[in-house]
């Protein structure tokens, strides 16, 4: 998840500038939508959804939304469509992050701090690898980072469905 978010954050400005000739202010608004979407979702909605449906049901949904948001970035071409795509991506991330942390805290009562530390380390690795891989894939084709990471998120969604729901 962090790798996908990092791909978006590290390549979107170049992508938007090349495909739609966006200015810095237009890109700033898109990043604002992303931040607001994640903040609002995590402040009020995600906790409610975890309590109501549980982490195991929200994870696949979060990964599916993340995949859809990344995929749409390859085909949308208006500001409104991009804002919606980024909002979908942000909501997916907002479902995944707390759900993973909550699940990890429930694995066992011993070593919760250690497990949370591993989650933080893996998240940091995802951020670094996402930026690195995103830049490399972008140099091959401007849509390749979004396609590749949306496929990873989609596979993860189906894996989560198979593991947690069936």
**7-63 residue pLDDT tens:** 988 898 888 888 888 888 888 888 888 888 888 887 878 888 888 998 888 999 999
Mean pLDDT of the chain: 88
- Give the up-direction half-sphere exposure of residue 48: CA atoms within 13 A in the CB hemisphere: 6
Q: CA-based angle 131:136:142, to the nearest 5?
A: 95
Give me the DSSP letters along 63-86: HHHHHHHHHHTTT--SHHHHHHHH
pTM of the model: 0.89
Q: Which residue has the higher pLDDT, 127 or 163?
A: 127
- What is residue 166's predicted lDDT score, i.e. its pLDDT? 61
Domains located in the chain, CATH noted = 2-165 (1.20.1250.20)
Residue 163 CA to chain centroid, in angstroms?
20
């Amino acid at each position: 998840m962090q790798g996908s978010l990092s791909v978006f954050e590290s390549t979107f400005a170049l992508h938007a500038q090349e495909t739609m000739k966006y200015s810095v202010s237009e890109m700033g608004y898109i990043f604002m939508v992303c931040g607001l979407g994640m903040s609002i979702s995590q402040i009020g909605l995600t906790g409610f959804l975890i309590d109501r449906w549980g982490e195991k049901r929200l994870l696949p949904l979060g990964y599916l939304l993340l995949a859809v948001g990344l995929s749409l970035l390859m085909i949308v071409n208006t500001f409104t469509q991009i804002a919606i795509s980024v909002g979908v991506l942000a909501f997916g991330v907002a479902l995944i992050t707390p759900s993973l942390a909550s699940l990890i805290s429930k694995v066992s009562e011993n070593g919760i701090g250690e497990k949370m530390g591993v989650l933080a380390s893996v998240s940091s690795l995802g951020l670094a690898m996402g930026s690195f891989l995103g830049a490399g894939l972008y140099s091959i084709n401007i849509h390749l980072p979004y396609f590749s990471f949306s496929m990873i998120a989609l596979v993860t969604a189906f894996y989560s469905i198979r593991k947690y729901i069936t």
